[in-house]
Structure 1
């Protein structure tokens, strides 16, 4: 039997089923994610794009990444405005599901924090978790080196 995780938007007009194992869960602290959520960060669980089935209609907002200049598509409920998922021109094979929209958002641990150089003051990065000053992978496809801390630390250590 396949692993299935369900979720949806705040008003329940949009529901989804994510089938199979998730690839990873990240917390992104970039300015785009801060603006998109109106908060300090965006927690996203990555799946293969075809592993998620939707019931209900999603609206789409296209944003151009400041780093890659490629579109990031924000898929949101047209009724309540909940961001349910993101898709990426840079990585067309992946879909990010907003972790907070899962019926049980705690089912999967957070693997890494990305774009920590943009984190807001007061944000604490956890111990023993991969943290990346920018993205996990450079534009040329090479991996970045993660920072790991022995104890929780403030993201803005120089302030």
Structure 2
């Protein structure tokens, strides 16, 4: 699939260019993502690190240790406006997540799954026809988890 994704932060100091479809685009409802965004969930696309090219601005990192894996998660953000550009991972050093809301056209990528739905806030509707995982897509040992799929939207709580 040939796809060009461009985007950046709120103040436009940080800009990026991606010339590849994401490996997956997901919505995470874990409590870390809720705190990181100050919202109900975090939507992001996952890419190989070298697929994302930053062409403007400085990016700063906040380091967080994951409660689940004990590995570092790096929140990458614009130091001027505070926009979360994405995440980098100690556990998956070859991958980078880019915030879906930072794309110039967020609807250019479809959401393929919802994670940590057991932590989803009240009032959040889980979509129909999309894999919804109670926790992660796989166990810490790498074994795949089994998703739920709903025929119609379901309220999380």
The TM-score with structure 2 as length reference comes to 0.97
Classify the secondary structure of the residue corresponding to 1:17.
Answer: strand
Unmatched tracts of structure 1, length 5 or more: none
**Where does 1:121-140 land on structure 2 (aligned, <5 Å)?**
121-140=122-141
Distance 2:76 2:127 in 1: 29
**Higher deviation after alignment, 2-11 or 141-150:** 2-11
The whole-number CA distance in structure 2 between the counterparts of 1:97 and 1:88 is 12
Q: Which residue of 1 aligns with 2:86?
A: 85
CA RMSD of aligned residues (A): 1.1
Aligned length: 156
Match of 2:45 in 1: 45
The structure 1 segments of at least 4 consecutive aligned residues displaced by more than 3 Å after TM superposition are: none
The equivalent residue for 2:115 is 114
In structure 2, what is the Cα distance between the partners aligned to 1:151 and 1:22? Answer: 26
Q: Deviations over 1:5-28 (max 9, x none)?
A: 100000000000012121110000
Give the CA deviation at 1:2.
5.2
Cα deviation, 1:94-148, whole Å, max 9, x if unaligned, reads 1100000000000011000000000001111011110000000110001100100
Superposed, 1:6-21 pairs within 5 Å as 6-21=6-21
Which SS does the other structure have where 2:92 is aligned?
coil
- Counterpart CA distance in 2 for 1:109 and 1:19 is 16
